[in-house]
Amino acid sequence: MQSLWDQTRMELRTSLSVQEYTAWIACLRTSATLDDALAVEAPSIFHRNWVQTHFLDRIRSTAAHVAGHPVAVSISVGAGIPLPMKVAASPVPVVQKSAAPAHPSFTFDNFVVGQCNELAHGGARAVADNPGGVYNPLFIHGGVGLGKTHLVHAIANAVRLRHRSYRVLSIGAELFINEMVSSLRRQQMEQFHRRFRKIDTLVVDDVQFIAGKERTQEEFFHTFNLLAAAGKQIVLSSDKPPHAIPNLEAGLRNRFEGGLIVEVTRPDRETRRRILAAKASQQNIEIPETVLDYLTERIRAASVRELEGALTRLKAMASLVGRTIDLALAEETLGRLYPARPDRVPVERVETLVSEALAIARTTLVSGQRSGPVVFARQVSMYLMRKQIGLSFAAIGERYGRDHTTVLHAVRAIEARRSCDAEVRRLVTSLEERL
């Protein structure tokens, strides 16, 4: 696993300019990381002060985005500085923040569209083309690392580009909560309301975080209603659809469900490959087709973030050891992290199970015997090899010294009996389960 700091740095690298990143961020080191706290060290007092004034909020919000919850960030000079205390992230002035997009690099141009996200992408594009005019709100949900933040920021960036005078605010729900709580504490709710009322397009990322927090939900409901009534576009992302978010107040849920709800799901093989290829070319990583195949095949659980991580590792490893990226390097770097999938169930296992279940010796099963019970057992065996292992008719036939039409017939026979004979159904199902 990459550390929180590594991931945060990776994101900062894409969202800051090259100069900013190399001058100020690249040389920072972590002295310690906890789940919710990050202690970073700078090489000099001047450097620390500069980073503190210019980048601290950015580092903090990026770390929170990566971690999925607020992270306390402290910056010190030199080594051996203790971890920061657990503190709530300090509020960032909301409207100033909207002036600079949080993720200028998240655009439609570099979003790869596949079956897994094509509806979400379509909805996002429609909203970006016509903010406030089509789907309001647009609600994008799906698992971690599947492109929700990318899409909602792409909308924000596109609207900013097209409508220069629009006030576009994209904000993580945690930041909204922090903002609200601190306004409440300082008794500045009037200002808080005023700020939000001025917005033309509001993007709230990870809106599930506001569930269960009574006052926050109330405030958000209020803001939502005001903006929606004024025809302003609202875009939301969440890790779950509205109805599945626990402790979400009914009024809000209703609002969330009042527009278009779209889901992003795990990318299929083809999309994984295209994403890898796109990311590699964006980062000028030369990667042979064979390695793309390898990565696509191995990294399956994959959130897109995981694909990116693998690519980054591979690139780092290549430059560290001074080799070009090839299959061998990929295997050395990632092979243990993403082991090959276990081989498919061996055919012997099918035969053992069948022979046990029907009390027929395995040797009899593969023999030429044609008595009723043996034929039935053999047919079950063929059926399972076809359905569960996916062997070809010809391969199965070969094993039993029969031609493929016999196998085809066997598979059909079991299929038919399975649907009308409860006993056969029970038998086959239990064998399938044990396989």
Residues that bind ligand ADP in the complex, under the rule CB under 6 A:
106, 110-112, 117, 142, 144-150, 275, 304-305, 308
Task: Collect all residues with Cβ–Cβ distance below 8 Å to 212 and sequence separation of at least 6.
Answer: 246, 247, 248
* Tokens describing residue 73: 């960030």
What does 304 interact with, of Mg ion, ligand ADP, none (CB < 5 to 8 A by kind)?
Answer: ligand ADP
Task: Tell me how many residues contact Mg ion (CB under 5 A).
Answer: 2
Torsion of CA 312, 77, 83, 93, to 10 degrees: -80
> How would you label 71-88 residue by residue, b for 16+ Cβ within 10 Å and e otherwise?
bbbbbbeeeeeeebeeee
Stretch that binds Mg ion, among 132-140, 144-152, 397-405, 414-422 (CB under 5 A): 144-152
- 62 belongs to the binding site for Mg ion (CB under 5 A): no
Which of ligand ADP, Mg ion, none sits in contact with 123, Cβ below 5 to 8 A by type? none
Provide the minimum distance between the beta carbon of 149 and Mg ion in the complex, in angstroms, as a whole number: 3
> Rounded CA gap, 395 and 393, in Å?
6
7 binds, among Mg ion, ligand ADP, none (CB under 5 to 8 A by kind): none
Kindly state whether residue 149 participates in binding Mg ion, applying the rule CB under 5 A.
Answer: yes
Place of tokens 């019970």: 373
What totals of helices (H) and strands (E) does the chain contain, helices first? 20, 8
What is the longest distance spanned by two Cα atoms in the chain? 90
Q: In terms of CB distance, is 116 or 414 closer to ligand ADP?
A: 116
Residue 55 interacts with, from Mg ion, ligand ADP, none (CB under 5-8 Å by kind): none
Select 9 or 378, whichever has its Cβ closest to Mg ion. 9
- Which is nearer to ligand ADP, 260 or 350 (by Cβ)? 260
Shortest CB 315 distance to ligand ADP, Å = 15
Q: 149 vs 355, which CB is nearer to Mg ion?
A: 149
Instruction: Name the nearest CA neighbour of 37 among 92, 75, 94.
Output: 75
On whether the CB atoms of residues 175 and 61 are closer than 8 A, the answer is: yes
Determine, following the binding rule CB under 5 A, whether residue 15 of this chain makes contact with Mg ion. no
Distance of alpha carbon 368 from alpha carbon 150, whole angstroms: 62
* Residue nearer to Mg ion on the CB measure, 76 or 303: 303
Q: Does 74 bind Mg ion (CB under 5 A)?
A: no
Residue of 70, 33, 75 whose CA lies nearest to 52: 75
Q: Closer to Mg ion at the Cβ: 60 or 148?
A: 148
- Enumerate binding residues for Mg ion (CB under 5 A): 148-149
